[in-house]
Amino acid sequence: MPLPAIRVPAFMHAAMPTLDSARERLRALREEITFHAHRYYVLDAPQISDGEYDRLFRELLDLETRFPELVTADSPSQRVGGAPLPQFATGEHRFPMLSLENAFDEQDLHAFEERLRRYLKADRPLAYMAEPKLDGLAVELIYEGGLLTRGLTRGDGRLGEEITANLKTIASIPLRLRQPAAGPVPELLEVRGEAYLAIQGFRKLNETRREEGETLFANPRNAAAGSLRQLDSQITASRPLDFFAYGVSEPEALPCASQYQLLKYLGDLGFKINPLAKPCADMTAVINHFQVLAEHRHDLAYEIDGMVVKVDDLALQQRLGNKARSPRWAIAAKFPAIQATTRLTDILFSIGRTGAVTPVAVLAPVCVGGVTVSRATLHNEDEILRKGLLIGDTVLIQRAGDVIPEVVKPVVEQRTGNERPIHMPAHCPECGHDLVRAEGEAATRCPNPHCPAQRHRALCHFTGKAGLDIEGLGTKAMEQLLREGLVRDLPDLYRLDPATLAALDGWGEKSAENAIAAIAASREAPLAKFLAALGIRFIGEVTANLLAQRFGSLASLMAAALAAGDDDPLTAIEGVGEQAAASLRHYFGDPSVQEMLGRLADLGVRPLPAAAPADANSPLSGKVFLFTGSLANLSRNEAKERLKTLGGQVASSMSRKVTHLVCGVKPGSKLDKAQALGITVLDEEQFTRLLNQG
Ligand code: IVH
């Protein structure tokens, strides 16, 4: 249930409520929304549909837009992110946020227990809490009078960065504490826990970044850290971050006797508590739970890198106290790294659909964490040089996260002198064309647009999940059609007939008919999907959407790409950069592409515009607006919506594409930049007039 997009409020036509009735309604709405958000984001047990929730949320936003003076710090509307900050302030933790000592095997855990017993002079077994060690970012949330007032990163343990606005965007973090069963809401509470990004959210984020040509995050942890350290909290709000609470700075001040009760108490206050945290009567139970977690870690939706073992009794924790950097009462039991050594026997070079040549390590098959690995990507030439790999090397490999195997490094001590250097080929292994590596690029490419390997990959992409997702034409089936010579290019697809398909190995009449029907349906695929399916370099889902919205048809996009002149209609679109534009010009300028698209059109392939294309006659068509400072009479979101309906575009940062800066109260540095760039600056009155004229 993501936060809904904010629309133009419907209130423009409704009667204006009084301040008192609005206050009352807002109070009720906040309570209701907070209740349902907790059911959904924390308990994973929604009671109403997403649609009903969205309606409540929209009503809240409508009312708050009309009565900005009634917006409260704990209103769910405050989760959407605010104005970007120039930098983060530093804040001191009242109690340092410590780190943990590590245990790498059972022996280390027994030694930990020994130390505890010696320290406590205890001879009876100790009870523990065993909690998954989340691989995210430790943060502290400060609640005063029940209200979330500040949020800090761990930083160096003593000083952290204030990332309050960013943390407020995480839907599972309560903005106001719930009333606990035991006693009143504490006056001051510093909650500690882990902010993280689930694996799926991480993959999706990287997918989008790949399309946009941005650098990829190495793992979910880095992605979470990068998202939380955004100066623009609206960017943070767009990332699916989550939070598990696991402790507080001063447990002795709470009505809890054990870590187990503390977690339960934090749950009562409205926090998400990890369901795999387990009370253990002794160290044997701890070790059992460790094995369970190690076995199931890859089934979880988020990454964990071990288990934290804590003495359960809070009075004992206090007696044990802290060492310089870590508490005596807890230890992190780390999972063994999923690594192995094997031999690098050869290198293959595979050609991607955009011609990039990827070196792939051929490995003597080896079992890593239960999976046999015999190939690992080496990405590009620089990566091979950086790692200093030679053919014949014994190499250390590991499975990063749960999936992709990677070569970590050569085991240099085991070299015999018979190893051979790795050279990038000079010619395409598939078509023989000279390979090129452009200045400043990491990739070596085959520039031949007719290279059969590229065409194969491009065709598989077109019918596959990232393309038009044509039922029955997954990678396997496509490879068969290519092998059989039935499909050599895209138009061939639309000439297939059921009888030919049904006669192929593994096909029957029914599956052939279904596939043909799916192909037929794809003739009228949405334009954005079709564009992304073509596999044009730098044109992923996001850019394809922008292009489809702006141009509405393949023909007008093509015309725009081929139009010469100083005012490039492609880069004029906010979100379309020079690289993407150059790639489109290159693609549509190729006579063989033009011919192929012509044949597709003859075969009835007519991608449909998803939405009405922006009308070139719209009053604000071609104008790009940027906002700074707050507007007195309408919300930024409403202003943006109204601009869009008039054909204007809204930018998120200053660039040469911006044509108008709308300047509210307390403008930021954008105003200076706009003046320096000679961009038209509108005050609120001028801006409102412009909207009304439209
Ligand atoms: S308790 C006094 N519990 O592990 C130490 N830490 O080195 C209190 N972590 O980055 C830490 N899951 O954020 C604790 N269930 C859990 C944890 C956990 C992950 C992280 C923590 C910190 C590191 C400790």
Q: Is the model's pLDDT at 389 over the cut of 70?
A: yes
Could you tell me if 371 and 519 lie in one domain? no
Q: Tell me which of 40 and 1 has the higher pLDDT.
A: 40
Could you tell me the CATH number of the domain that includes residue 389?
Answer: 2.40.50.140
Mean of the pLDDT values across residues 398-423? 85
Q: Are residues 538 and 512 in the same domain?
A: no
Ligand 1 atom, smallest distance to 322 CA: 2
Q: How many degrees, rounded to 5, is the angle at CA 661 between CA 636 and CA 226? A: 65
Q: What local confidence, expressed as pLDDT, does residue 443 receive?
A: 87
- Spell out the residues 6+ positions from residue 564 whose beta carbon is closer than 8 angstroms to its own: none
Q: What is the pLDDT of residue 404?
A: 67
Is residue 378 included in any domain, yes or no?
Answer: yes
686 in the same domain as 550: no
pLDDT tens by residue, 455-478: 888 999 999 887 898 989 988 899
- The helix/strand/coil state of 194 is strand
Q: Quick check: CB of 246 below 6 Å from ligand 1?
A: yes
Which tens digits make up the pLDDT trace of 165-210? 999 999 999 999 999 988 899 999 999 999 999 999 998 898 887 7
Binding site membership of 247 for ligand 1 (Cβ less than 6 Å): yes
Domain count, the chain: 6
pLDDT bin (cut points 50, 70, 90) of residue 7 is very low
**Structural domain ending residue among the three candidates 304, 334, 364:** 334
pLDDT digits (tens, 9 = 90+) for 114-133: 999 999 988 888 999 999 99
pLDDT in tens, 617-664: 778 888 899 998 888 877 776 788 788 778 888 888 888 888 999 998
Mean pLDDT (whole number) for 547-551: 90
Cα 132 to averaged position of ligand 1 atoms, centre (Å):
9
Task: List the CATH number of the domain containing 515.
Answer: 1.10.150.20
Residue 328, helix vs strand vs coil: coil
Mutate to test the pocket of ligand 1, among 152, 246, 249, 303 (most ligand atoms within 8 A of CB): 246
- Residue 96 domain flag: no
Measured in Å, residue 228 CA sits from the centre of ligand 1 at 18
Domain co-membership, 286 together with 311: yes
25 and 160 housed in the same domain:
no
Residue 11, pLDDT score: 44
**Nearest C-alpha neighbor of 619 from the set 569, 550, 693:** 693
Domain identity same for 171 and 131: yes
219 within 8 A of 147, measured Cβ to Cβ = no
Which of 153, 191, 194, 311 should be mutated for ligand 1, with most atoms under 8 A from CB? 194
| Cα 133 to averaged position of ligand 1 atoms, centre (Å) | 6
Helix axes 636-645, 684-693, angle to 10 degrees: 30
Buried b (16+ CB within 10 A) or exposed e, 504-543: eeebeeebbeebbebbeebbebbbbbbbbbbbbbbbbbbb
pLDDT of the residue at 248: 98
Question: Residue 14: its pLDDT value, please?
Answer: 53
* DSSP 8-state symbol, 651: -
From ligand 1's centre to the CA of 35, what distance in Å? 29
What is residue 615's predicted lDDT score, i.e. its pLDDT? 62
Confidence category of residue 147, pLDDT binned at 50, 70, 90: very high
* pLDDT averaged over every residue in the chain: 89
Predicted confidence (pLDDT) at residue 12 exceeds the cutoff of 50: no
User: Could you give the residue ranges of the DSSP H alpha helices within 440-508?
Assistant: 452-463, 475-483, 490-493, 498-502
pLDDT number for residue 654: 83
Active site residues: 133
Does the C-beta of 98 come closer than 6 Å to ligand 1?
Answer: yes
DSSP helix/strand/coil, 675: helix
pLDDT tens, position by position, 307-350:
999 999 999 999 999 988 899 999 999 887 678 899 999 999 99
Q: Is any atom of ligand 1 closer than 6 Å to the C-beta of 102?
A: no
What CATH number did the domain enclosing 680 receive?
A: 3.40.50.10190
Cα–Cα distance measured from residue 130 to residue 127, given in angstroms and rounded to the nearest whole number: 10
The response to whether residue 140 sits with its C-beta less than 6 Å from ligand 1 reads no
Confidence band for 9, pLDDT divided at 50, 70 and 90 = very low
Q: Beta-carbon neighbour count of residue 661 at 10 Å?
A: 24
Residue 327, ligand 1, Cβ within 6 A: yes
Cα(138) to ligand 1 centroid in Å equals 7
Pairing relation of β-strands 128-134 and 278-280? antiparallel
**What confidence tens digit (pLDDT) does each residue in 232-257 have?**
888 898 899 999 999 999 999 999 99
Residues 329 and 344 placed together within one structural domain of the fold: no
The closest alpha carbon to 448, from 426, 432, 424, 425, belongs to: 432
Q: At 358, give phi and psi (nearest 5°).
A: -105, 120
Domain housing 366: 339-414
- Predicted confidence at residue 288, as pLDDT, reads 97
* pLDDT given at position 403: 56
- Beta carbon of 131 within 6 Å of any ligand 1 atom: yes
Residue with tokens 């990959």: 457
Q: 347 lies in a domain?
A: yes
* 278-282 average pLDDT score: 97
443 touches ligand 1 (CB under 6 Å): no
Which residue minimizes the CA distance to atom 24 of ligand 1? 99
Nearest CA to ligand 1 atom 10: 138
Are residues 292 and 216 part of one domain?
Answer: yes
Given a cut of 80, is residue 150 above it in pLDDT? Answer: yes
* Pair 218, 285 in one domain: yes
Which pLDDT does position 616 carry in this prediction? 66
Q: Is the pTM of this model over 0.75?
A: no
Give the position, in ligand 1's atom list, of the atom nearest the Cα of 133. Answer: 12
Residue at which a domain ends, from 482, 508, 524? 524
Nearest atom in ligand 1 to 194's CA = 13
Average pLDDT over residues 517-523: 93
In a domain, residue 517? The reply is: yes
